[in-house]
Structures are given as C-alpha cells and as structure tokens.
Amino acid sequence: MASSKRVIQISGIKNRTQKQKVVEGIRSLGGKYIGGSVYQQDITHLIVSGFSQSEKFLAACAAGKWVLTQTYVFDSVQRGSWLPEEPYEVALSQSTQPAHNPVRQWRKRVADGSLPGAFHGWTVLLVVADPLSRAIFKRLLKAGKAEVYLSTPPPPHAAITHVLAKPLPKDLQGQIAPCYPVIHVVHHLFGGHFVDLQGTFEANEESPAEAEPASIEFCQLEKELKEYIIKREEQPRLLFPEFQSYHEPYSLNSKAVEADFSNVGSMIESGLFSEALDSIRDTLSPGLLPPAVFLVSLLEHALQGNASAVYLRNLQQVLHGLLLNNPSWLFPHTVKKYFSELLQCPQCKRGLWPFIETIISSRMSSDAACHPLPGPASPSLLCLHGNLLELVLKLFRGELHSVTARDSGLLKEAGVSRLPASGSLLYETFWTVWERSTLLSTAVKQLVKLLVQVLIWEKEDEDEAEREARQELRMGETLLDMLAAMVEFWCQQHLKLNQTLVEMGLKDLGEHLAVSASSQDIPLCLLVELVARIPSSRLRLVTADAVFRNLCCRNGVTVSEEPLSLKKMVSSYLPALERLVEGPRWADNRGPCPAPEPVSHSWTSPQRIQSSSINETSPGKEFIPKGLNRVNAAGETCLHRACKRNQVETVRHILSLPGVDVNVKDHVGWTPLHEACNHGSKASVEALLAHRPAPHLETTVDGISPLKDALVNGHLDIAKLLLEHAGSALLRHMDGDRTPYSDPPLTPAEWAEILLSARAGDAALMLQPAAEGRYLPLLEAGSSLLTHLLVSYLGETGLPGCTRPGHALARAVEGHPLRAVTGGWTDRRAVRLAEDAATLAALRGGGAGLERVSPLIRECQGENTSLLMEVLGQLETQGRSPGLRLYHGVC
C-alpha cells in the first residue's frame, strides 16, 4: 500500500483552513483528493479528525479502507513522502488497544482476503421511508459488500437475511427475515465498543444518517424552481398601456372598397399636394386604406424640403391616423404589406431599414444616406423626421405587444386575426430568412452603430443651445426604444424553443454594443448613461456586464470567465472594481500623479509606462554594460541575480540604466521582486519599490505573489514594507476569499503587525488627492455599472422571491452544503439559482461583508459609489433584496 496511488476523501474536519491544508498536503505528495459528502467506492484512504458518525467514516470501515488521522498527512508532508499508515490509524477512543480496534480489524480482514467487506453474505431488504437516509444506508451496506433490495416485497429469488427498517414495521416483523433497526449496522461494525457509543447514537435518533444534514426533497425542490423560472420567463415584458385600446376587433369598412380616390391621383399629378392630402385626411376611418402609391408621392414631396409647415403637420396626422385605424399586427397580411410599401424611402424604395437610416442621417446632416439629401432641413421637416421615427417605433411596439400579450387575454376576442410573428415588420426589417436564428443580424449591427453615432452627436462640443436642440429631438432615446423592442420581440419568439440560443444572442449583442462604443471612442460617462437608459431589463443586464468586463480589460484588470451570477459579481466584479482604482496607484503610480482629467474622459485609463517606450537612441544607452539582459540557464537576468544576493549597489546601478525592465521574468515566471522577497533582500526590495515605473506587486507564480513569498520564507519585515507601499488591497488580491496567510501560520502578534502595516499603506494612499481625483470618474462609472448589474440580475432571476424567509430554497442552502442540495440536479438554471441563493445567504450571514471592501470605495462620496454600497449593505442586512425597491432610483 505504501507505494500505490492514494485516492483520498476527508471526513469530520470542520475547520475550513485546516481542511485546505490537508487537501494541499495530499496533492503535494501526489495523492488524488475526492471531495463531496458521499462515500466513493474507489478511495483507498479516509482522513478524519477523530471518530465520526458520517456516512464516509462508517462506509470506509465497512469496506476495510485505511481510516487515518489528519496527522498522517502533516507528518508525511514534513518528511516529503508518504509514511506507513498503521501508526496513524484512528481508534474509537484513547483507551482502545490496537489489537482490539474494530476499524483496524475490518481493514486487516479485507486486506488479507478473508472477507470482501464487513457485510459480506448479507442480503438486505432496506425499509427506510426518508429517501435521503435510504440512499445513505444503501451506499453504506454496498460498501461492506451486502446485497441490497428496496422494493417491498422483495423479488422471489432474493434470499433475504436481514430486514433493516426505520421505523420498525409490525407487518414485517419476523415474516421475511430477522428485522433490525438501521442502527444494527453500527452494532455489527463496532461490536462491544458500541456500548460506549450508545448514548451518542441515541442522541441522534439511532441513525448515523442523522449526523448528516436534515433531509429535504431536493428533487422536488428542483422541479419547483424550474416551474418558478419558466413562469418568470413567460411574464409579459414591455407592455404598453397605449395599446390596451387596440383590443376591440376591427373589421374592414365597406368604404375601403367603395371610396373613389381617382381625384386624389389627379390632384397629385397637377401638383396640388395639400389638396390631395386634405382629401385623404377627410376619409380616414377603420379599415380604409388609401392607395399606398398616393401616400408615397405625398411623402416624397414632404421629404424634398419644399413643403409648408401646415402640410407637414397634416401629413403626420394622416400617417398616425392610418396606423390607429389599421393596426398591422391585428389585420391580415395585406395590411402589413401596405405599411411595408408605405414606410420606405420614396426614391430608393429599398425597404424600411434604409428609410430609417436616411431619416437619421438627414437629422444628423450626415452623408451616410441611400441618396443625396436636400440642403439644411427646416425645423418643420426635422419634426416630420422625428414623427416618422416615432411612427415606426409605435408600429414595432404594437407588434411586440401582440406577442407579449398572447397569454393575458387582451387579443383573444372573436374576430381578431393576429398577424403571425414570422410575418411581422420587425422580422422583415431586422432579419433575413437566413438570420432569424441569430439576434445579432446585419441590420441589428447597423442599428447599434447608428445608436452610438447619435449618442456622440447629441453630446458633441457645440454651444449649449445647439446641444439642447439636439437632445430635444430625442433621436437617441427613440433608437434605444427601438433596439429594446426588437430584442424583446426576438427573445419572445425563441425563448420557449431554445433558452441557450437566447442567452448566447443577448450576450453577443451586449458585447457588440460595448465593443462598438469602444471603437468609436464614446466617453465612458456617456456609455454608463446609455446603460441606465435601456428600457429592457435583460438587454440592460447583458450590456452592463459587457461594458464592465470591457472596462476591466482595457485597464489591465482580470475578471472571472464563469457565467454571470451573484457569486461572480460579489467575488470577482467587486474586487475588480477595487483594482480599477487601487491597481494603477499601487502598481506603478506611487509617485506624483498627473493633473485630474475631466469627468467626461474616454474610458481608456492611462497606460502603464513600459520600459520599451524608452528610445534606443536616448542618452545614456552607451553606458549600458554588455550582457545586461543576457540570461543564464534558468532565464535569470543580472537584476535577478543581484536581488537574490542582496547586492544593493548593483541593483540600483542596473535600475538607473535606460531600457531596464523591472518586471522581467525568468523561465518559471519569477520577477526580481520575487527573488528579493524570497531571499530576504530588504534593501533590494526598497530599491525596486523606489524605481519608476514601480514593479508589479500582484504578479503570481502558482499562486505565490511577492508578499506571500516573503511571508512563507519568514521575512516579516519585507512583508510589512510591501503592505506599507500598497495597502490592504494587496492582501485581498493575494488570498481572495481564504483566510489571509494561514500558511505559514502567523502568531496573533505577527498578524497584528501585518494589519497595522496594511492600514498605514491605506492611509498613505488616501493622502494622495491628485490620484483620488484622477480615478474618481473611473470608480463612479464602475460603481454605476455594477449597481445596474446587481439590480437587473436580481430582477431578472427573481432571486428575492425564492429566498424569502421560510422558502424551501432558503432553508436548503442555509442548512445544507450546496453540493448536497444540487448534486443530482440536471437543470443548469435551477443550479445557478441555488448558487445565487447560497451567495445571498452568505452575504446576509456576514460571509463576505462590506468590511472587506477597500476603504477608498467604502468612504467615497460619489453618488454612484454610495448607491452601490447602499445596495450591498441592504443585501447583507435585510431579508429581501433592495433591487426592486431601488430600481427607479438606480435607473
């Protein structure tokens, strides 16, 4: 056994830090660790803190496995190889003699082949009502090589030797085979030693399974969560009150057939456009559709820029009246075709989307149109353009309303023949037949591009009156509403068919919007404002997520790649927000900071000053000694070697030379700062920290940062020096959610010194008002995005509703390990909801409290950052989420 591969489980070690040490020790010696609360047949060893009543302990004893104390791992790590197991074998009590230890006896009998398992030869009928307990006892008996049946009565061929039941049923007593309570398996394993343990098991209601979490119908819980998720997904979104009056059944008016429009055609041919328009306006009624060719001519006359203001106003009334009396989403296909023919460029006639582009280009005085535009448009013509956009938006919203209201009964009256979604103008405008399985079609990409251009145009540096005039046109808001309606329409069509397709489509659109804004250099403050203005909550969610990740990426901050969840926002995004502000300052901007930038700065933060930026012809290059950057077999430069040897003057001389890379890495990845911290070269560390640009303190190799390197090797003075330079952010960056620096263990006095140095570093950083002013806009932008993420996510998932006190999910995650709750689940959405509930429970229990947030963020007086801290604080302290309550204040 000493030379075989060890496959190990752990049981009974409650201290999380201690358990982590055991796991790391197992892996460092080449063993394989298997987690989970369920016994695995393939293990060779079980590591315990002492006698345990768990399933794994009893099953390992029954299977004849090595059951050892945790000291076995620690002593083996200290030696550097696995030790013999027998001296570390667990005993039931200190008085138990090795020769009478039942754990050892079962192990030896299985090892010498005299017995396959403790329950060999048993054929058991297991009659246990609780499904969780039944599964535990089944695994326990099978570990001891028993044959187990669960059905009553058992199969005719089964020669039952034992009936194990809880509670004992009277109708089985003595009829099939001897009937025992389930505690009989423990009596069989430990024999006479069971007398000493009797009180312990009685306290647990005669069942070792009672030491496990209380049973819950987890499978039933998964079904309930799936129903809850589906119900939320099917809820109507973006229902518009203005369309409630459209529920009355419309029928084609007979005047639509009898009306004579020949005189209208004659007026148009004679140039009497106002008279022709008045004639059509006088005949408007439900079901009456004037020939589209006449209205196209009237619209063309208006767009040429020569029509009077009265004419333009009357044309707007006619177009809106047509849509009011003939909603295309309630009429047959012919009405949709009518509006499709009407709402297009009268000259180019290439469909609705080119018409929308032409209107936007004309309002922006842009050349990007399907045909040359007339001179500067009059205010009346600009008003017509806006009304045409609003008419298109109203049409799109009506089609969305007809889809989202299908389950509300608004459109189920007799006589209503609703237009199929596949034949809607929304589909025709934004997707070709080959693009309908993707949200990010060519037209959608063009809409995003136009939206970004309009937002920039509305805020361009003109005089204040011009900016106000542009914003009064509300073109950006109209395009945002159009994008939201289009997204919700597409999602409604595909949600029931393919949930994954919808999630991928939304993610792609959010990332495309973020990248488009980045490529067009939209100011970060304007992009944050865009996110806040998005009316669709699911579109706002994916856009805020994409913009936040892009913001982190562009500023050199790494975030987790796992799917979006509440845990990701708390454990990855919140620390990333801290590093957005703290990282540049303690990484390479310790010296004087440049003057603060305006609030409306671009979202690209100041780039690191790289050594490669020094011109090769700069003065002093001729003084660079030969072989300065030459490396040895390990990839170490002269600077590496000087730091290892604490040759301070050599280190300073090398750092004074141009072109020196203070963050150069050897073949393994160690930097000069790593080497100085590892070898206790305090003077070299001081020289490195004084250099500009300063070394990267966050660089890690296999989880070892310079700070941890110093602590592991006992150089407490260097660790304090690093923390005084970088503050408590360095502690959080290094160890994340774990207890900081438990390996090697620090004495309380040493840990107090570490915290004192970290606070001193924080205080020093806070005394840099120039740096704080420089990064305040970045902090405010990141806080706003993270707030929208939290609020939108809570609203989309409905997490507050299924984590209220007393709910089955809340009880499950608070009283059981998450893996035990979701172990057999197959629905990934239900699993993610359970993970979110566990994270929320940890927040409310203080497992990831606000005290872990950087003081720079916690004490920031910015409006967005203060709101973020309020949202997080309410998540911690209240039984229900503040998301819905703060929604209007946030958005």
Longest dimension (CA), the chain: 118
* 220 in any annotated domain: no
Q: Check if the beta carbon of residue 793 is closer than 8 Å to that of residue 564.
A: yes
- Do both 690 and 828 map to the same domain? no
Residue scoring higher pLDDT (846 or 209): 846
CA distance 351 to 430: 11
Contact predicate 328/319, CB 8 Å: no
162-166 and 179-181 as β-strands: parallel, antiparallel, unpaired? parallel
- Per-residue pLDDT reduced to its tens digit, 212-244: 333 346 777 788 888 888 777 767 667 666 666
Q: Is 316 helix (H, G, I), strand (E, B) or coil?
A: helix
Do 346 and 406 fall within a single domain?
yes
426 and 510, same structural domain?
yes
pLDDT at residue 785 is higher than 60: yes
- Give domain status of residue 638, yes or no: yes
Question: Which one-letter DSSP state was computed for residue 424?
Answer: S
Instruction: Tell me: do 708 and 744 sit in the same domain.
Output: yes
Is the domain of 396 the same as that of 446? Answer: yes
Q: Does residue 226 sit within a domain?
A: no
- Element (DSSP H or E) covering residue 67: strand 66-69
pLDDT at 864 over 60: yes
The highest-confidence range among 162-176, 699-713, 781-795, by mean pLDDT, is 781-795
In a domain, 468, yes or no: yes
Residue 356 CA to residue 267 CA, distance in Å, equals 28
Q: Are residues 81 and 172 in the same domain?
A: no
Residues 356 and 288 in one domain: yes
Per-residue pLDDT, 425: 80
Q: Write the pLDDT tens digit of every residue in 556-607.
A: 777 877 888 888 888 888 888 877 775 444 333 333 333 333 333 334 333 3
Give the three-class secondary structure for 37: coil
Domain count across the chain: 5
Residue 185 lies in a domain: yes
Residues 420 and 500 in one domain: yes
Q: Strand 32-33 and strand 7-11: pairing?
A: parallel
Instruction: Give the residue, 285 or 491, on which the prediction is more confident.
Output: 491
**pLDDT tens per residue, range 403-427:** 776 645 444 443 444 555 566 788 8
Confidence of residue 64 (pLDDT cuts 50, 70, 90): very high
760 shares its domain with 658: yes
Q: At what angle do helices 475-494 and 379-404 cross, to 10 degrees?
A: 20
This prediction has a pTM of 0.58
Lowest-confidence pick of 101-105, 244-248, 648-652: 244-248
Residues in CB range of 241: below 8 A, 6 or more apart: none
Residues 656, 557 share a domain: no
Q: End of a domain among 733, 767, 801?
A: 767
Question: Which tens digit of pLDDT belongs to each residue from 542-557?
Answer: 999 999 988 888 777 7
Of residues 878 and 753, more confidently modeled: 753
> Is 236 a domain residue?
no
What is the pLDDT of the chain when averaged over all its residues? Answer: 75
Among residues 169, 194, 211, the one where a domain terminates is 211
Average pLDDT over residues 383-402: 82
**Contact indicator for 56, 18 with CB cutoff of 8 Å:** no
Domain shared by 168 and 182, yes or no: yes
In a domain, 225, yes or no: no
Percent of the chain exceeding pLDDT 90 equals: 5
Averaged pLDDT, 791-819? 77
Supply the range of the domain harboring residue 164. 123-211
Average pLDDT estimate for 432-444: 84
**Residue 25 maps to which CATH number?**
3.40.50.10190
In the block, tokens 């940062």 appear at 705
Spatial distance between the Cα atoms of 60 and 67, rounded to a whole number of angstroms: 7
| End-of-domain residue from the set 474, 504, 538 | 538
Flag whether 1 is in a domain: no
Q: Residues 760, 776: one domain? A: no
